[in-house]
A and B are shown apart, each in its own frame.
Chain A
């Protein structure tokens, strides 16, 4: 309901007075008026006896501000004057301190802070012990003084006022913690020890003492109580610098250039005679493309290691033939076309399309594991996470369950597993989230697995969706250990997908390996549009695996091919023998996923190869069919199965590709070429952005979601960024 509605509501109320009621009311009022006038009249005539004499004035006596007297008035001025002066001094001091300290670096301060505060606590404890003994003796001697706690109770308040001068909640909390003991009157003697830590503390103490002396003329002894607050202030300040710094860095959190990517070497060209077999695991991550898009939209070229060719190619859906049986969950489509960047070379495109789930979707048990650490506190992080999760909810069925766990300084459950039909509860839980604190990613992961396992959907999909900017700094910080944990948990049927957010601190390497070990997808979400693509349009492929451990092996025919090179998949290369080993993990394919792999080959009869002929070793006599470039083998497991299945298919020299297949292949090549260019263009020769642009433009196809048109724009931006 908005304001207009509300106003309209008020207008709709029939507020026209009824005439008869009005007349009646006026009559009633008039009679009351007459009565009142009569009372007044009688009073005028001297019949005042109905008014009792009262000493009470109109002012209510329980309101102290009405009790004005000269002494309290001056005292009030005096007190407030001193209070303001004290506040000013502390305010200025803290301001100076804060400006001096901002140059410090946070990580170095962390240990000092703890040392400092623990020292303070230690000192305080020992002093307290000493004071306790003093207290007992003093108490015995002068009990009547101690029985006036009211005045001393002023101290914490004054301390509060001082703290507010520091103008920082963090500090004031620390501060109050340290001030608390000063409630005890005897702790007043504490300052000399603690206060001595700071030079300026001494002058402050003196001032505060003066204040106290004037304020409490009755008992000079109580003046000693004042330094307690000053000392507490000093102690708080001793601890303050680190706190202030922490706050400053977290509110202004913006570190740049800490995005971490694994350094990858582009796959080299290989001789078929040396190594005729190429084996790799498929990869369905797409994070590299989104990250590249983000950087290009900022007008800079992304760092080379951020570009993963296979992830960029796989970002796009391709129109490969769709399999129609769940038992044979994907089809392979092969096309061979000329390489645009090297005359004579050919490109073999292997397209794999996953089976699409129609109307039967398994029950889903999702756990959102959301990073709410301080670093997530920027518009492209936590708010985007919330939005994305909201989107994801729309693509779930009512019976699916969602739980939310968060991690920051500590991990916690925000929402117990809740069915999606109770959408409002989930949305409310999401809305409550706020960013702050450090990142205990590992503890969060453990908690998320507990939640998922507690509500395991048998035969359904159990998945943790981790949304983070990628920094895990507490808990299992050993990357291998964390990976091992995720891998072990995979056996229990709970998978892990990773949604990366934000930039500046993005730890892509860790995210990728986590998702890889958790049988999930690593996706980078830079915009709401990307969230829409991953979580709504392609929700089924993100959520439901249809084939696990998909491996590809290609054996080249030495009779027809002399050299080959696999484009991308550098991090997914497998040893030849691992292809048949079902214990070796590989990538999964989600429902409706399309995966594309490209090989650049040099046919035997072409002189476009990179290697020159060997003078000494005789070319081996080649036998075998001259109609085939090679033989493709695919291994996969159906979800839940342990034994892999095999699909095999020859790669013909002559393919009669349909126009649509050629278009899809050419577009994939345009993307791959663009990726190569962004990685430095080791093998692309003279082929440049302009050619990539043209190729992409010509092969956009239908492009119902505009992804391909976006690529065209990105190539243009890269062109500009490169020229700068």
Chain B
């Protein structure tokens, strides 16, 4: 993080409206991109990103410059997305989903299916997958965002790989 960025954040924290606007505009693509990968579709991602920006506005003061700002942002988005999903699940998705995954499916549909499959594996798996595979972060970076051990991230990725190998590519050739 450059000095200018740090300065920008500090100014926004002090209450400079323009600094904050710049900050949001700067980071919005990252936020939105990550939300997209996490949610698997644009509509949800837009909502989640907006929630995240609002949360950013309210909680910027709590950022203490101890970690990287992006790390903090990722945490913010993940929290928003989790809330969003909780909310969504309460209202929609009553019909049981079919998790059979076809290789030929459209990327968006396919990603959606993969994500729901991975979510089923337990808490934190979807986040891990999105951070490591989607955002290309290292296991250590993902671990610091998710506040877990690096080994946990590695294990989750391993499990996901195993599961996807088994479920998605079921055309076993002998």
Question: B149 interface residue, CB < 8 Å from A?
Answer: no
Bound: A41/B14 CA distance, A: 11
A2 touches B134 (CB 8 A): no
Most buried by B among A3, A7, A17, A391: A17
Identify the closest chain B residue to A390 (Cβ): B174
Closest Cβ of chain A to B110, distance in Å, is 6
User: Given the known A-B contacts A1-B103, A3-B161, are A36 and B174 also in contact in the complex, defined by CB atoms under 8 Å?
Assistant: no
Complex contacts, B103 vs chain A, CB 8 Å: 1
| Chain B residues within an 8 Å CB radius of A14 | 36, 42
Specify which chain A residues have a CB less than 8 angstroms from the CB of B24 in the assembled complex. 25-26, 29-30
Q: Mark B30-74, 1 if CB is under 8 A from A, else 0.
A: 001100110010100110011001101110110000000000000
Distance in Å: Cβ of A185 to nearest Cβ of chain B? 38
Please choose the segment from B15-23, B80-88, B90-98 that sits at the chain A interface, where 4 or more of its residues have CB less than 8 A away.
Answer: B15-23
Q: Is the CB of B108 within 8 A of A1?
A: no
A28 CB to nearest B CB, Å: 6
Among the listed stretches B119-127, B137-145, B164-172, which one makes contact with chain A, having 4 or more residues with CB under 8 Å of it? B164-172
CB-based contact A40/B134 at 8 Å: no
User: Known interface pairs A6-B133, A15-B36. Does A26 touch B25 (Cβ–Cβ under 8 Å)?
Assistant: yes
A36's contact among B33, B57, B134, B169, by CB below 8 Å, is which?
Answer: B57
Contacts of B60 in A (CB 8 A): 33, 36
- With contacts A17-B29, A25-B53, A29-B57 taken as known, whether A37 is within 8 angstroms of B110 at the C-beta atoms is no
Contact, CB under 8 Å: A32 / B170: no
Is the CB–CB distance between B15 and A427 below 8 Å?
no
Q: Does B111 contact A (CB under 8 A)?
A: yes
One digit per residue, 1 when the CB lies within 8 angstroms of any chain B CB and 0 when it does not, for chain A 10-43 equals 1011111110011011101110111111001100
Q: A17-B29, A21-B46 are in contact. Are A40 and B165 (CB under 8 A)?
A: no
Minimum distance in angstroms from B101 CB to a CB of chain A: 8
User: Chain A: residues with CB nearer than 8 A to chain B?
Assistant: 1-3, 6-7, 9-10, 12-18, 21-22, 24-26, 28-30, 32-37, 40-41, 390-391, 393-394, 423-424, 427
The residue that A2 contacts in the complex, of B15, B58, B165, with Cβ under 8 A, is B165
Q: What is the distance, in angstroms, from B46's C-beta to the closest C-beta of chain A?
A: 5
A15 and B57 form a contact (CB under 8 A): no
Contacts A9-B114, A25-B53, A26-B21 given; indicate if A15 touches B32 (C-beta within 8 A).
yes
Q: How far is the CA of A390 from the CA of B174 in the complex (A)?
A: 7
Cβ contact within 8 Å between B57 and A7:
no
Q: Which residues of B have CB within 8 Å of A26? A: 21, 24-25, 28, 53
Chain B residues with CB under 8 Å of A16's CB are 29
Q: Is the CB of B165 within 8 A of A32?
A: no
Point out the residue from B29, B54, B111, B174 that lies within 8 Å of A9, measured CB to CB.
B111
Given contacts A9-B111, A18-B42, A33-B12, 13 further A-B contacts (CB under 8 A): A3-B161, A9-B107, A10-B37, A15-B37, A17-B28, A17-B49, A28-B54, A29-B50, A32-B57, A33-B17, A33-B60, A36-B61, A423-B174
Q: Which residue of B lies closest to A41 (CB)?
A: B15
Report the bound CA distance from A24 to B129 in whole Å: 29
Q: Across the interface, name the chain A residue whose C-beta is closest to B45.
A: A15
- How many chain B residues touch the partner (CB < 8 A)? 45
Contact B28 A9, beta carbon cutoff 8 Å: no
Q: Quick check: A1 and B168 within 8 Å, CB to CB?
A: yes
Contacts of B32 in A (CB 8 A): 15, 17, 22
Q: Across chains A and B, which 10 residue pairs bring their CB atoms closest together, nearest first? A: A29-B53, A33-B57, A1-B168, A15-B33, A32-B57, A12-B107, A10-B134, A17-B32, A15-B36, A32-B54
Evaluate whether A10 and B133 lie within 8 angstroms (CB atoms) in the complex, with A1-B103, A30-B20 already known.
yes
Q: Provide the bound-state CA to CA distance between A2 and B103, in Å.
A: 11
A1, A7, A34: residue with the most chain B Cβ atoms closer than 10 Å = A1
5 A–B pairs (Cβ distance < 8 Å), ordered by A: A6-B133, A9-B111, A25-B50, A32-B57, A33-B58
In contact, B36 and A24 (Cβ under 8 angstroms) = no
| Contact among B17, B56, B61 for A34, CB-based, below 8 A | B17
Chain A residues closer than 8 Å to B29, beta-carbon distance: 15-17
Q: Are B50 and A28 in contact (CB under 8 A)?
A: yes
Cα–Cα, bound, A134→B74 (Å): 63
Nearest CB of chain A from residue B85's CB, rounded to whole Å: 17
CB A17 to nearest CB in B, in angstroms, measures: 4
Return the contact of B57 from the options A1, A17, A24, A30 (Cβ within 8 A).
A30
Complex Cα distance, B60 from A10, in Å, reads 29
From B15, B56, B111, contact of A29 by CB (8 A): B56
Instruction: Select the residue from B37, B42, B53, B108 with max chain A CB neighbours within 10 A.
Output: B53
Does the CB pair B20–A9 fall under 8 Å?
A: no
Q: Is the CB–CB distance between B28 and A25 below 8 Å? A: yes
Give the chain B neighbours of A2 by CB distance below 8 A. 161, 165, 169
Which residues of A sit under 8 angstroms from B61, Cβ to Cβ? 36, 40
CB distance A393 to B174 under 8 Å?
yes
Contact with A along B146-174 (1 / 0, CB 8 A): 00000000000000010011001110101
- A6 neighbours in B (Cβ, 8 Å): 114, 129, 133, 164
Residues of chain A within 8 A of B45, CB atoms compared: 15
Name the B residues within 8 Å of A37 (CB-CB): 15, 17
Q: How far is the CB of B35 from chain A (nearest CB, A)?
A: 9
Chain B residue contacts of A393, Cβ below 8 A: 174
Contacts of B169 in A (CB 8 A): 1-2
**Given A14-B36, A24-B50, A26-B28, does the pair A3, B174 have CB atoms closer than 8 Å?**
no
Q: Which residues of B lie under 8 Å from residue A22 when comparing CB positions? A: 25, 28, 32
Task: From B17, B46, B165, give the contact of A30 (CB < 8 A).
Answer: B17
Chain A residue at minimum C-beta to C-beta distance from B37: A10
- B-chain residues with CB within 8 Å of residue A427 when the two chains form the complex: 172, 174
Across the two chains, which residue of chain A brings its CB closest to B130?
A: A10
Cα A15 to Cα B169 with chains together (Å): 26
A13-B28 contact given A30-B57, A32-B57, A424-B172, CB 8 Å threshold: no
Distance of A392 from chain B, by nearest CB (Å): 10
Q: How far is the CA of A40 from the CA of B21 in the complex (A)?
A: 18
For B129, list chain A residues within 8 Å (CB). 6
CB-nearest residue of chain B to A394: B174
- Whether A1 contacts B164 in the complex (CB less than 8 A), given A10-B134, A21-B46, A427-B172, comes out as yes
CA distance A391 to B42 in the complex (A): 46
CB-nearest residue of chain B to A37: B15
Residue of B nearest to A426 (CB): B174
Give Cα distance in the complex from A18 to B111, angstroms.
20
